[in-house]
Amino acid sequence: MVDNPRPQDQLDDIFRRQAELAEYYHETRPDGFYSWPPLERCTTWTRSIVHECCELDNELNWKPWKNPQSLDANREQRLMETADILHFLVQLALDQGFSAEEVYRAYVAKNEENRERQRSDPRYAPGAQR
């Protein structure tokens, strides 16, 4: 497999890579976790996402009583935690039978819904008191 640094459709590429990784796990550990029915694995993915978000939270200095670290100094670690979250989110989507295209379309629809909510809420109108 040749890695293309800027594939035409990056979301499709991420989904393809994740599906290949899941297939590899299933082949190398045929009696393992990846042998479970996909929908039965979903709560593991949601919990994994929550835990990875907590790991990212730690990198973002959420504890005000600790000496904060420089966010510039831990940029790579924050990026890797974000990638971990994406890894589990994509596997969750795959195990629910969602394609990259479906997730993209749902995202676009939800994004537009959120924008419309902001446009139609008088509290967010230019000059409104917040």
Q: Among candidates 106, 76, 103, 78, which has minimal Cα distance to 14?
A: 103
pTM: 0.84
Token pair for residue 48?
A: 């994994």
pLDDT at residue number 6: 59
Rounded-to-integer distance, Cα 66 and Cα 22, Å: 38
Distances (CA, A) of 84 to 12, 87, 122: 17, 5, 38
At 67, the pLDDT band (50, 70, 90 cuts) reads confident
Of 101, 91, 16, 78, whose CA–CA distance to 47 is shortest?
91
Owner of token pair 């969602």: 98
For the chain, the average pLDDT equals 91
Q: Residue 12: what pLDDT? A: 97
Q: Round to whole Å and give the CA distance between 29 and 40.
A: 17
What are the pLDDT digits (tens) for 71-128? 999 999 999 999 999 999 999 999 999 999 999 999 999 999 999 999 998 888 787 7
